[in-house]
Chains A and B, each alone.
Chain A
């Protein structure tokens, strides 16, 4: 009898996989989708290129120790080489070579084009947002989630997040300010196998009102790497 119950459960897993997947909570779905946009909370580095609607391109190298310790260094264009952005928890500092001191800034300040500091430096939505499911009867292929900021320190007040049911892959996100005003929309694509898992390598961000304002972010060269704590110290940015 015991065996047959187990067999029945196993059969259900194979026959109705979607039933078991659907049991994931909205927050767990967001967590799984986060893993499709980076290496999760693993210490690693990667490069990001940001190209705007006028084909102006900027390059960044990102040192990601964990979700609360990220250092972004600009490598192109030449005028901006050496600019650094350090994010530690919800504190953020910017270092520019001509000013020669790290200055505290706010998270929502635009880094370049349509890209905010938090879009590169703080990408794990599951850490910062509480998710609830939105019912969308027309779209049976994707989960529609409403992500509300856990506190006022985060980049956005709310995110409407679309995640595919099949692979928990992020599809689209609409970002709202704390005031509730829609700011921009992002589409995730170009899934590639990185470190043994399919992950999105392209994010196209479009201004919500001015659709011609667009920035395309390409994530590449992900590499697991260990970093010392002093790399994420505000006082070390000048060196």
Chain B
């Protein structure tokens, strides 16, 4: 963390001094976001969230530039994913966003520092979005940039074109793996081990250069087709839990993250006015928790995830997307913390209301253990710098369904997001 702060301060001072010298193209911008939420499930409460980001960027020459971000998030949660009606819980965090130096030549781009890298062609379930850790406390419907966290990376990409064919080869190296912010363990284990209190000791992020992650992606685009193959060797962003001690009412566990390898392919193709997209990702040696002989165990298995989707063309200001997503673990013990198969169908309809106003309606259906969620909202840019959003999201399902686990965050919400440039 100290090293991250050092990099931030270094970039902050560098960019600020350059800006004062007026020798560069300098920009400072950001956003402020506020949301009021009324939770409608068992815990009928109100929540308030404010978020913000300040970003400064500077181009020192046509090839050399830097980016520097600071983010904060204040949250007053009166309902969350726990089974109980929690008392009011305030949280506040300030953290560093993307902070990197970039060198760009005619055919090469190199970025060094904390950055977010996104792979994959499909939406809905971003299985190919392997690199950046996520804040899993954000919901299925949160904006991707809110859930994503930066990772320290050396990111090298070469771009090429051969006639009508264009493509790239990207190489990534991270000396400092980071983990996702996870949901409470009860979300996964609550149905298997009811009426037990879990005490979880988090695993700290490894010190720089004690662990390393690396991978690459090769991409081609040709005549209506985008294709990429990729691989990444990394510490699992999600933890598995190891038993420390247990009593009749309490289980003490600690988190561990083991090394996994993911390989995959992503493709998108225009079919007339439709766009077909798919991501397929195989992850080897992922550790899954289970209960066996009344003991908490973990075991290694392979996980195959894929998502296919089709985007419709716009018709009378309406457009739609249909998505199918599947996640399967090769070997599943009976009391595993996740099901062998998880399958979802998502339908999304967008109506353009004019003047950049949009109405969106999404429905997600879980197939193995029937569950469902619906989200609807209106996004209304009320002026050049402010967006208003009004909507609701509702989760329900059978016992055992994943979507039913989110029922306590069923809510209606109102938010404002203001963009500014200084």
Residue of A57, A104, A235 near B275 (CB, 8 A) is A104
Q: Given the known A-B contacts A101-B118, A235-B167, A236-B159, are A228 and B106 also in contact in the complex, defined by CB atoms under 8 Å? A: yes
A233 and B314 contact, CB distance less than 8 A: no
B387 and A79 contact, CB distance less than 8 A: yes
Q: What A residues does B184 contact at CB under 8 A?
A: none
A236 and B168 contact, CB distance less than 8 A: yes
B109 and A77 contact, CB distance less than 8 A: no
Q: Give A52 to B381 CA distance when docked, in angstroms.
A: 14
Q: Given the known A-B contacts A91-B224, A233-B168, A239-B157, are A79 and B385 also in contact in the complex, defined by CB atoms under 8 Å? A: yes
Q: What A residues does B109 contact at CB under 8 A?
A: 236, 239
* Interface residue B401 (Cβ < 8 Å from any Cβ of A): no
Binding-face segment, A35-43, A107-115, A121-129, A196-204: A107-115
Which residues, 391 to 422 on B, are CB-close (under 8 Å) to A?
Answer: 417, 419-421
Q: What B residues does A228 contact at CB under 8 A?
A: 106-107
Q: What B residues does A89 contact at CB under 8 A?
A: 164, 223
A91 and B221 contact, CB distance less than 8 A: yes
Q: Give A104 to B274 CA distance when docked, in angstroms.
A: 10
* Interface residue B206 (Cβ < 8 Å from any Cβ of A): no
Which residues, 216 to 234 on B, are CB-close (under 8 Å) to A?
Answer: 219, 221, 223-224, 226
* Interface residue B249 (Cβ < 8 Å from any Cβ of A): no
* Interface residue B145 (Cβ < 8 Å from any Cβ of A): yes
| Chain B contact surface mostly | strand
A78 and B421 contact, CB distance less than 8 A: yes
B317–chain A nearest beta-carbon distance, Å: 8
* Interface residue B102 (Cβ < 8 Å from any Cβ of A): yes
* Interface residue B250 (Cβ < 8 Å from any Cβ of A): no
* Interface residue A76 (Cβ < 8 Å from any Cβ of B): yes
Q: What B residues does A57 contact at CB under 8 A?
A: 384
Q: What B residues does A229 contact at CB under 8 A?
A: 161, 166
Q: What B residues does A54 contact at CB under 8 A?
A: 355
Q: Given the known A-B contacts A78-B385, A89-B164, are A152 and B272 also in contact in the complex, defined by CB atoms under 8 Å? A: yes
B365–chain A nearest beta-carbon distance, Å: 24
* Interface residue B104 (Cβ < 8 Å from any Cβ of A): yes
A100 and B118 contact, CB distance less than 8 A: yes
B268 and A233 contact, CB distance less than 8 A: no
Q: What A residues does B221 contact at CB under 8 A?
A: 88, 91, 233-235
Residue of A90, A106, A230 near B313 (CB, 8 A) is A106
B145 and A98 contact, CB distance less than 8 A: yes
A103 and B268 contact, CB distance less than 8 A: yes
Count, chain A residues at interface, CB 8 A: 39
* Interface residue B133 (Cβ < 8 Å from any Cβ of A): no
Q: What A residues does B226 contact at CB under 8 A?
A: 104, 234
B166 and A106 contact, CB distance less than 8 A: no
A103–chain B nearest beta-carbon distance, Å: 7
A213 and B119 contact, CB distance less than 8 A: no
Residue of A77, A81, A91, A100 near B144 (CB, 8 A) is A100
A140–chain B nearest beta-carbon distance, Å: 38
A112 and B356 contact, CB distance less than 8 A: yes
* Interface residue B143 (Cβ < 8 Å from any Cβ of A): yes
Which residues, 216 to 239 on A, are CB-close (under 8 Å) to B?
Answer: 228-230, 232-236, 238-239
B118 and A79 contact, CB distance less than 8 A: no
Which residues, 335 to 371 on B, are CB-close (under 8 Å) to A?
Answer: 352, 354-356
A143–chain B nearest beta-carbon distance, Å: 31
B352 and A110 contact, CB distance less than 8 A: yes
A4–chain B nearest beta-carbon distance, Å: 53
Q: Give A106 to B121 CA distance when docked, in angstroms.
A: 15
20 further contact pairs, Cβ within 8 A, besides A79-B417, A99-B144, A104-B275: A56-B356, A77-B385, A78-B419, A89-B164, A101-B120, A105-B311, A106-B273, A106-B313, A108-B313, A228-B107, A230-B106, A230-B161, A233-B161, A235-B166, A235-B167, A235-B221, A236-B157, A236-B159, A239-B102, A239-B109
- Residues on B close to A: CB < 8 A? 29, 102, 104, 106-107, 109, 111, 116-121, 123, 143-145, 148, 157, 159-161, 164, 166-168, 170, 219, 221, 223-224, 226, 268-270, 272-275, 277, 311, 313-314, 319, 352, 354-356, 381, 384-385, 387, 417, 419-421
8 sampled A-B residue pairs with Cβ under 8 A: A56-B381, A76-B384, A78-B384, A81-B29, A81-B421, A103-B123, A106-B275, A213-B354
